[in-house]
Structure 1
Amino acid sequence: MQPFEIPAGEAVAALAHFNRQAGGLLIYPGEILAGVRTRAVRGRFAPLDALARMFRGTDIVAARDDRTGALLLRRRASPPAADPDFTPVIPMKPKHPLGQLASLLAFALAPQLHGQAAAPGSAPAPEDQTVKLSPFVVQTDTDTGYAATSTLAGSRLNTDLRDTPAAISVMTREFLIDIGAVNVTEALGYGLNTEKDFSDFTGNGLYSNDLVIQMRGFVGASLGRNYFGWFGAHDSYNVERLDFSRGPNSILFGVGGPGGIVNTTTKQARLGRDRTEVQARVASWDDTRATLDVNRTLGKKLALRVNGVWQDKKSWRDFEYQDRLGGALAVTFRPFRNTTVRLDSEYSDIKENKAQPWPAADRISPWLNAGSPLSQTYGAAVAGTANNSSRAMVYDPASGLGPLSYFGGRISNSGPVAIGLANNPIAITDETLLPRRSNLAGPAFGTDQSFYNYAIFIEQRLLENLDLEAAYNRQHERRYTVRPIVFDGIALRGDPNVFLSDGRRNPNAGRSYVEGVTQIENRNQIRDDYRVTASYQLDLTQRSQWFGRHRFAALLARRDNENLTPGNFTERNLTPHLLNNPAVYSNDLTSGNNTIVRRTYLDFSGSDLDRRGLHDIRLHPITGQRGVTSGFVRNADSSRDELTRLDSMMAAVQSSFWKERLWLTGGVRTDKQRAWGSGGARQDPVTRVWSQRVRNANYTYNEGSTRTYGGVFHATKWLSFYYNNSGNFLPNSQRSDLIGGDLIGNRNGEGQDAGIKLSLFGNRINANLGWYETTDQNRQVGIDASWTNHVNAIWRTLGEPGRQISVYADSQDLSGDGYEFELTANITPEWRTSFNWSMTKQITDNVSPRTVAYMAAHRATWEARGALDLDRTGTALTAPTVAAALQNATVIVDSLLAGNGNIRRGLREHSGNLFTNYNFSRTSRFAGFGLGAGANYRGDTVLGYDSSQRNKPIYGSSHILVNAMVRYARKITAKKLDWRIQLNVDNALGEDELLVTDADQNRPYRFVYLTPRRWSISNTISF
């Protein structure tokens, strides 16, 4: 008798669970299982009894071969004939280590035996027809409920999670379905010590990247797809599961951030299975979506899988939407017993308007607080306003005024600023001024993105224990982004001018408005990956149990990443000569005077969307109005033609000793990077518009060697101890004048993990409790330009202009440690639970060491000439002498050094997630129903620092979001259809507080909106 926990489902997948839990090989004719579904089995049974319970109600029966003891499956009408030449394959519960290894192999083979096992009435397949488990592929069919069994993330080879020392968490397909996640971003809400990052106060990362992730508090975690590097976030329509590898992991990627990596396993074509799934989904705010998943086997050697998605998604924010059309094709071809060829390909077209997650900036409150006074004479000063020194042409199509300059008029363009946010204005929280749903950037602020990907994998078994995989992957992304307003320009302003600059009366005097200068950003990236991986298995237990079993992996890889970006283009007046004022509006199109500013006066009281944000520039071109014709020019040296080539070598070994109670993993890796930059752009002699860059002939070179080592000790069947140590690096191509133009050097990540693993109640409950420590050394940072200006002014004063600093870079270190707990439970066949909790600390150290050394090296020279009058040419400096400039520069550096020992801004010390689901059994009066509930807890966040108390951290408040799920599923027998309808409600309690993200001792500055209560209903049919 032994414990079994086998869910109901397709027979092939259920038998994979049976083999793993029974510990033996089951032989069956593949075709007899087509369309067969098994019952759930839970409890302690003899293996033969467990099989009988699984197939109760079908025409499949289980038997034991009297002579060999092996288990066989057959149909009732045609019992298998005895074969006198039958050779025992693997008896149940083998005691010899080789038998145990074969049993493990049998478990992995179970999903593949369909269509490849013995024909009815024949003996089991001879050895030369057996297809063995690939060491390079994870079989997701063996994932049970929320529990995954294996991963590639620990050693690049398919390994049981319980034998892997690295910190790895898996979200299975069933878990992703239950939480209703349609993309990786939504799934992150349940990630252990992982979340979407909002610490980039500029907002630039929100538009240049699909997803910015922080893991363990380190920003910039890597993204992967089938363990190739990846550009952006994935949609779930083509996702089988997600693997979260926390901390540095050089076996996976030697070049990467220290936080970790989120890898997506895409759907693969399955041999021996024909299956179709169609889903339609509707959700809050006119969100509609449809997906298709079709798997077909063509003969015995070829399988195709087609996935598709169509989405038309609106949002609770004005103008925000996402339209997606995508398709994926996967192919599995097994021409020979030891050869497998797989294709993974996808194309997607995504159009979206993405609202910034925080309220617009305040550029109006000083004027409002003064009573909104109007300037009755053009240019006359009134309280709360400033003089407008811009010559740019302002265009508001709704006013019918045509393009005109507001030079010399009054503007409401100021408000409180946040020193900790590079002096950016604070956000508006008064919803009588700015409704929460507003999106001032308007309908044109969006991205048109398309990408395609194709990868081919060729796996070949060369010898019994030697496997080889050759793989190639190409990604090509084009991204066209229109930004009518950039950076902190998304702000609310007021117009105090009663008259216009040309003497006409201003019809919009006293009204609020939004304005911006439109930029178009083009991105074109191509990434080619070439990878060869070898796996060799060596079993020395035949000589001695102490010699163990060993699996070796070796990898050679090359990645070519081409950045062929045309650059950024800004809207300009292409016909300045028609304004007949060449002294102001010259033919230099890069001049700020030739800028076109788009403006819309706002009205949130009506239903006219055109008055709720900046107008759509695509609908309102300027063609010769008042001498102005709009167009887009490359007004800066922003194009790129770059190639980064990364050559990698890796060797790893995983060994098991003492009857697989001790598992040791180790690896070494070398990565060499060559980077060809670009330059040579020229400006047109008349228009001053920049040309496209060309690639440099010379390259910069970086290399790094990293290592990984760790182990797992299974003290008992239910208690294990683990330890892991690993590193990685990121090249820094930036040079620093402070140290003679040398490269800053590599950014290095180091991490170690230790803890315990628990496997309780027959593997129904699995838990990990771990401690970790991670360092991020030599992380590149900048400095306030004021410091550079003061230092350069000193050198000019001393008659040494050649020592001025033109390029600056320095570094700092981050170190973090904490605890993580994760529990995954398939408590019963009906009840699933996932829970995780993390405690995280992270501090900044060794801030700007080169700057400190530079100041110390030159201080005596500067102090000796301190009485000299400072050369302030071309600057806004006010320091009168060298001594005063030195004092100001010292204050700036001292403020940097005050950051030593600080907890990183944006860090959460505590976070946790829970989701549980119960599906009522077939015998229950509620058969077919499932209920689920979840919660996402986010602890206090470091918002900033109190400079009056030696930079004491300022914390924000915690919050909890509660989610719910209800499902009904049944089989429509007449059509042989499985039908499922599911309701998900996120933020079920309707939490709507503004979450503060930045503050000092005086006030909060930046906030993030919580997404309101949201529901979705998905209707799924599979057959």
Structure 2
Amino acid sequence: MTTPTRVLSPVLAAVARHFRGAGALLLVAAPFLPLAAQSVPTVAEPAKSDTVILSPFTVTSDTDRGYQAGNTLAGSRMNTKLSETPASVSVFTAEFLKDLGATDLADVLEYAVNANADFNAVSTAPSFFYMDGGLLNSVRVNNRGLSASRTIDFLDTTLPMDTYNTGRFDVSSGPNSVLFGFGSAGGIVNAQTRTADFRRTSLNFNLIAGSWAAYRAEADVNVVALKDKLALRVMGVHDERDTWRKYASRETERWSAVAGFKPFKGTTVTAFYEKGDIANPSERPYNRVDLLSFWWERGRQTIDNTALGTGTGTVNNPSGTRGIGIRNSWVSNDGRPMFIRAGSANTVLYRSAGRYESGMASGIPTQRQEGATYQTLLPTTPQANGLPSSPYDINYYGPEAVRTNDINRRFFKIEQQLGRDGFVEFAYNREYGYGFSYQMSGDLALYGDPNLYQPNPDGTATRVPNPRAGQTYVEQAWYHNIEAMWNKVYRGTASWRFDLGRWGDHRLAGMAERSESTNRTTQGAEILVNSTTRVPIMNTTAPENGQNTLFRRRYVDPYAPDTHYAGSRFDTRPITYGGVNYVGRFITNSNANGAIREIDSTMLATQSRFWRGRLIVTGGLRRDAVDLTPFSNGRIAPNDPRVASGEKIAYEYELLGEDPANIRSYTFYTYTAGAVLGVTKGVSVFYNESNNNGAPQTNRRMLPDASLPIPPEGTGRDYGLILNFLDGRLFTRASAFHTESRNDPTVRDNTFILAHRRIVTAYRDNGLISQAEADSRFLTAYLGDFMSDLTTSGYEVEVKANPTKNWTITASYSYTKLKRSNLGQDWYPWFAEQKAYYGRFPSTLLTTANLPISTEIAQIETGVQNLFALNEIGYNNRPHKANTFIRYSFPESGRLRGLFVGGGVRWQDNNVLQRDIVGFDALGKDVLGKILYGPEIFNVDALIGYSTRLKAGLLGRGTTLRAQLNVSNLFDSDRIQVIRLNRVGDGYWRVVPREPRNFRLSVSLGF
């Protein structure tokens, strides 16, 4: 007899060979196929006395219809109809996620009411990772113009979200202390994990193939061991794809298991475990920087670099070149050092310069201030003058820049019903994430080599011919980053319902929670050390100093952009200079940081219904007691045993233990209050106000002492109209909102603290201060963070509709105004003290940037002022957003039964970029003109599919077969997202290209 097992087992074995972990999970599931293929008996309707009463802390999808959710926890912490929730909540249902073909949070964000992926949206920091603010998070969220928090099952998380085990996403906008005492003022995005189903055994498999060799296999196996008593659900995924960018392949291997047990009536025990391994590229979304065009336009001249003096940073306008500075460059093409040193003209090297580079007399009328950043990106298409192009479809970090994550989560929960009206719940959650990445530092640029001569590898001041004069090259330094995060939560929750008749129906809930989180981060560059003594090549007491950094240079064909990445970090050939052998070694620098955060929380919430449900009132009070304990860092002593063993080198940094001198404790009291009033049948008005305190950002440090920032405070209010017609099949929420986030530390730019450290280093190198005094002035833990306040206001409209059985629709529109104020409250007093300190020493000393200290100071002052002016205009906000997604299923009675079609449109307004610079005042500060905007976003997606329940055949009666094709960016729009223009607004500086048209074909089987 032909059975589903006999048919599918060979297929699953083939899948396992290709998809490894997920395929293996399918093989494990194969023996259960006959059980799942059996007809499932109809479950009798329980007698009235046996009616199952759901916990108020649990939401199921039973009332979801198409793209319209019925209930949510995201408004009041209790199971509430969306039409009775005063807080602004939007839900992505399982049906929507399936139709969209979404695999992670980034896929759905642009269909949210007022959210998008955050590309440093409220920060002008020039450096960012594509879709990633850290090693662990898969995507950062911007909601209502502010950063938003991410939770899994309403528990704070750092783990990446994946739809393989997610039932739905809830987006709660604005601060809401009842929902989360600590979170971002922008709101939260919560992923609800699927739970074990006690009713029926089922097996679901989903295979996806897409553009750029994308393959994904998912399995979801639910086994009922004892009906209505014991069930186990196992889910797994293997996802691998090359992506549209070369050297940017991704791979995900995750599985999870959730068990449900009901030992007694009214008692439910849930246990969950997840483990995963994720490999992604370390990448920047933009192309290479133009540090080539000025030299190129002057005929790619080669120069006698030894005839231009001893200055390592000298500008040479006639040839379009400039000095590189002191540097250890090693040419990977032929294994030779090109080490640049000061003091002799024969040990100085030059590089090409770009037309927009500061200090170059390139004929560009905007070149009015030597110290400004006028760089731009190379063109993406071939140019008439032969200037090399740099297309977006390449990750210019190359194939060795990778980021790996190990994740682990455990969750345990006991729910107990007390009579008809009482419930208690005890929960424990523990998650761990570890991330390791190799990335590149230095300019992401393409250079030309104009030098006829190069420094002698023997270390003497005798020049030797440069065999690669006139060629193009790339040159960057490798560095590594390690991040580890632990989160633990213990939570007890209880609720009781009081029906007081004419005085209302009330539910009272209380919660006590203990949360503990620890994060540890270290990073550092590859430096050159003596292969025998492990002593750094130049600065022995500060290994992280740039004079020790190893830059790996690689000469490339200018017209083969897929070769434009630096030398390999796996290259172990000896590096000989001055008769001494050196090797590359990764060290830890001063950015070693971390902290322990402990929060004890109590919460009391109420939900009351009056006038037969016409008036719903919610409220809550919460207390959070927070202890923050940062870790300290320090240099490793030369006599440390790890130095002798070779594990560490002397004077490199390490992350130490707790720093009791900088422990911070806070106690916060927050509230939520709201109401929904039914004016007529189907028409309600609502009002909600709340506040909260954001989780302190332990990866930030503030002036004047590089201490942890105080927790930001969020306040907000929403009010508007709810329309609910056609027996709930047409739902509309129209809201106006106003949100404030005070003490926000999201502005980061380390340019100025680096200049400060160069000044201090110059004092030390000239014998004016000791190394100890220099260390005390460096503020090594400070990363360039600035405190400010943010305010957003606007309005939103969301529509969810199922007008007929065949149509399901979601649509939204929003407007947001963003303003930043009070920027620099921590900077000005600190810098005033530094200027008094600088005044004690000569201002003519040169720093390692080959600039006089007086120039460095002037550039710090004007640069900070310009940074603040840029941020105060609502940087990168897209005021207007709109989207819709529609699906139509053909009637069951027609010839096209089973067929469904649909699609969506995503539109976002022009984003605020910066102010035009129309001149400079007497102090060199920008004189600003009009606001400049980037292009809008407009994309169309399409869906076509077929679904049927088989009546017979090889796969078995009752098997559900679904096949669908998703097309993202249907019209193949190549319009980029511009994040920053160059300083004068006439060239791109930071961009995020749009993924080209993408096809995904999925086939699902359900038994």
Kept in 2, the 8 Å contact 1:590–1:687? The answer is no
Match of 2:1000, SS state, is strand
> Which residue number in structure 1 is paired with residue 481 of structure 2?
521
| Sequence identity (%) | 28
Structure 1 residues 65-214: aligned runs within 5 Å: 114=43, 124=47, 127=49, 130-199=51-120, 200-204=125-129, 205-214=132-141
> Which residue number in structure 2 is paired with residue 621 of structure 1?
572
Query: How far does the alpha carbon of each residue in 1:857-882 deviate from its partner, in whole angstroms, 9 at most, with x for none?
Result: 999x99xx99x998538676999999
**In structure 2, what is the Cα distance between the partners aligned to 1:934 and 1:231?**
30
Structure 1 residues 421-440: aligned runs within 5 Å: 423=373, 425-432=375-382, 433-440=389-396
Q: 1:759 to 1:524 in 2, by over 3 A?
A: same
Kept in 1, the 8 Å contact 2:515–2:599? The answer is yes
Query: How far does the alpha carbon of each residue in 1:234-259 deviate from its partner, in whole angstroms, 9 at most, with x for none?
Result: 11111100000111111111212111
**In structure 1, what is the Cα distance between the partners aligned to 2:818 and 2:408?**
38
Q: Name which of 383, 386, 390 aligns with 2:326.
A: 390
Kept in 2, the 8 Å contact 1:749–1:775? The answer is yes
> Which residue number in structure 1 is paired with residue 155 of structure 2?
228
Shift of 1:553: 1.2
**In structure 1, what is the Cα distance between the partners aligned to 2:544 and 2:756?**
25
- Does residue 333 of structure 1 match 2:261? yes
> Which residue number in structure 1 is paired with residue 14 of structure 2?
none
**In structure 2, what is the Cα distance between the partners aligned to 1:458 and 1:679?**
39
Structure 1 residues 293-308: aligned runs within 5 Å: 293-300=220-227, 301-308=229-236
Query: How far does the alpha carbon of each residue in 1:248-301 deviate from its partner, in whole angstroms, 9 at most, with x for none?
Result: 111111212111110000111010111111111100000011100111110121
Shift of 1:680: 5.3
- Does residue 574 of structure 1 match 2:574? no
Q: Name which of 346, 351, 373 aligns with 1:411.
A: 351
Q: 1:417 to 1:759 in 2, by over 3 A?
A: farther
**In structure 1, what is the Cα distance between the partners aligned to 2:156 and 2:971?**
38
- Does residue 748 of structure 1 match 2:713? yes
Shift of 1:741: 9.9
Aligned amino acid, residue 425 of structure 1: Q
Kept in 2, the 8 Å contact 1:538–1:550? The answer is yes
**In structure 1, what is the Cα distance between the partners aligned to 2:92 and 2:536?**
64
Query: How far does the alpha carbon of each residue in 1:171-219 deviate from its partner, in whole angstroms, 9 at most, with x for none?
Result: 0010011111111111112111100112353115545353453434434
> Which residue number in structure 2 is paired with residue 957 of structure 1?
935
- Aligned Cα RMSD in Å? 3.8
- Does residue 663 of structure 1 match 2:613? no
- Does residue 342 of structure 1 match 2:270? yes
> Which residue number in structure 2 is paired with residue 95 of structure 1?
none
Kept in 1, the 8 Å contact 2:136–2:405? The answer is no
**In structure 1, what is the Cα distance between the partners aligned to 2:538 and 2:307?**
19
Shift of 1:347: 0.9
**In structure 2, what is the Cα distance between the partners aligned to 1:529 and 1:210?**
19
> Which residue number in structure 1 is paired with residue 554 of structure 2?
600
Q: 1:137 to 1:603 in 2, by over 3 A?
A: farther
**In structure 2, what is the Cα distance between the partners aligned to 1:494 and 1:713?**
70
Kept in 2, the 8 Å contact 1:996–1:1004? The answer is no
**In structure 2, what is the Cα distance between the partners aligned to 1:520 and 1:711?**
51
**In structure 2, what is the Cα distance between the partners aligned to 1:834 and 1:869?**
65
> Which residue number in structure 2 is paired with residue 494 of structure 1?
448
Structure 1 residues 670-819: aligned runs within 5 Å: 670-679=623-632, 681-685=634-638, 687-697=650-660, 699-730=663-694, 731=696, 745-780=710-745, 785=752, 811-819=787-795
> Which residue number in structure 2 is paired with residue 45 of structure 1?
none
Shift of 1:637: 3.0
Query: How far does the alpha carbon of each residue in 1:140-169 deviate from its partner, in whole angstroms, 9 at most, with x for none?
Result: 122110010111111111111111100100
Shift of 1:638: 3.6
Query: How far does the alpha carbon of each residue in 1:653-707 deviate from its partner, in whole angstroms, 9 at most, with x for none?
Result: 0101000000001111111211111225333337322344122345211222111
**In structure 2, what is the Cα distance between the partners aligned to 1:655 and 1:598?**
67
| Unaligned 5+ runs, structure 2 | 1-35, 309-315, 341-346, 359-368, 383-388, 457-462, 639-648, 764-772, 919-926
Query: How far does the alpha carbon of each residue in 1:727-748 deviate from its partner, in whole angstroms, 9 at most, with x for none?
Result: 111347878766x999864421
> Which residue number in structure 2 is paired with residue 262 of structure 1?
189
- Does residue 991 of structure 1 match 2:973? yes
Aligned amino acid, residue 707 of structure 1: Y
Query: How far does the alpha carbon of each residue in 1:307-348 deviate from its partner, in whole angstroms, 9 at most, with x for none?
Result: 110111111111111111110101111110011001222111
Residue range with higher mean Cα deviation, 940-949 or 912-921: 940-949
- Does residue 319 of structure 1 match 2:247? yes
- Does residue 445 of structure 1 match 2:401? yes
Q: Name which of 503, 509, 512 aligns with 2:472.
A: 512
Kept in 1, the 8 Å contact 2:595–2:628? The answer is yes
- Does residue 872 of structure 1 match 2:832? no
Structure 1 residues 822-901: aligned runs within 5 Å: 822-849=798-825, 872=843, 895=866, 898=869
Query: How far does the alpha carbon of each residue in 1:836-860 deviate from its partner, in whole angstroms, 9 at most, with x for none?
Result: 11111011223334666899x999x
Match of 1:237, SS state, is helix
Q: Name which of 939, 963, 967 aligns with 2:945.
A: 967
**In structure 2, what is the Cα distance between the partners aligned to 1:210 and 1:991?**
28
**In structure 1, what is the Cα distance between the partners aligned to 2:370 and 2:418?**
60
- Does residue 1020 of structure 1 match 2:996? no
Q: Name which of 875, 899, 923 aligns with 1:929.
A: 899
**In structure 2, what is the Cα distance between the partners aligned to 1:917 and 1:336?**
43
Kept in 1, the 8 Å contact 2:531–2:583? The answer is no
Match of 2:62, SS state, is helix
Aligned amino acid, residue 807 of structure 2: W
> Which residue number in structure 1 is paired with residue 210 of structure 2?
283
- Larger RCO (alpha carbons 8 Å, 6+ apart): 2
Q: 1:391 to 1:201 in 2, by over 3 A?
A: closer
Query: How far does the alpha carbon of each residue in 1:54-85 deviate from its partner, in whole angstroms, 9 at most, with x for none?
Result: xxxxx98xxxxxxxxxxxxxxxxxxxxxxxxx
**In structure 1, what is the Cα distance between the partners aligned to 2:541 and 2:947?**
69
Kept in 1, the 8 Å contact 2:479–2:586? The answer is no
Kept in 2, the 8 Å contact 1:648–1:671? The answer is yes
- Does residue 634 of structure 1 match 2:634? no
Kept in 2, the 8 Å contact 1:839–1:911? The answer is yes
Match of 1:908, SS state, is coil
Kept in 1, the 8 Å contact 2:329–2:339? The answer is yes
Match of 2:295, SS state, is helix
> Which residue number in structure 1 is paired with residue 365 of structure 2?
none
Residue range with higher mean Cα deviation, 584-593 or 516-525: 584-593
Match of 2:262, SS state, is strand
Shift of 1:936: 0.5
Q: 1:737 to 1:213 in 2, by over 3 A?
A: closer
| Unaligned 5+ runs, structure 1 | 1-32, 38-58, 61-113, 119-123
Kept in 1, the 8 Å contact 2:528–2:536? The answer is no
Match of 2:263, SS state, is strand
Q: Name which of 968, 975, 981 aligns with 2:963.
A: 981
Kept in 1, the 8 Å contact 2:935–2:975? The answer is no
Residue range with higher mean Cα deviation, 980-989 or 701-710: 701-710
Match of 1:176, SS state, is helix
Match of 2:110, SS state, is helix
**In structure 2, what is the Cα distance between the partners aligned to 1:522 and 1:239?**
28
> Which residue number in structure 1 is paired with residue 385 of structure 2?
none
**In structure 2, what is the Cα distance between the partners aligned to 1:889 and 1:311?**
46
Shift of 1:897: 6.8
TM-score normalized by the length of structure 2: 0.80
Query: How far does the alpha carbon of each residue in 1:938-959 deviate from its partner, in whole angstroms, 9 at most, with x for none?
Result: 1111011124374532122223
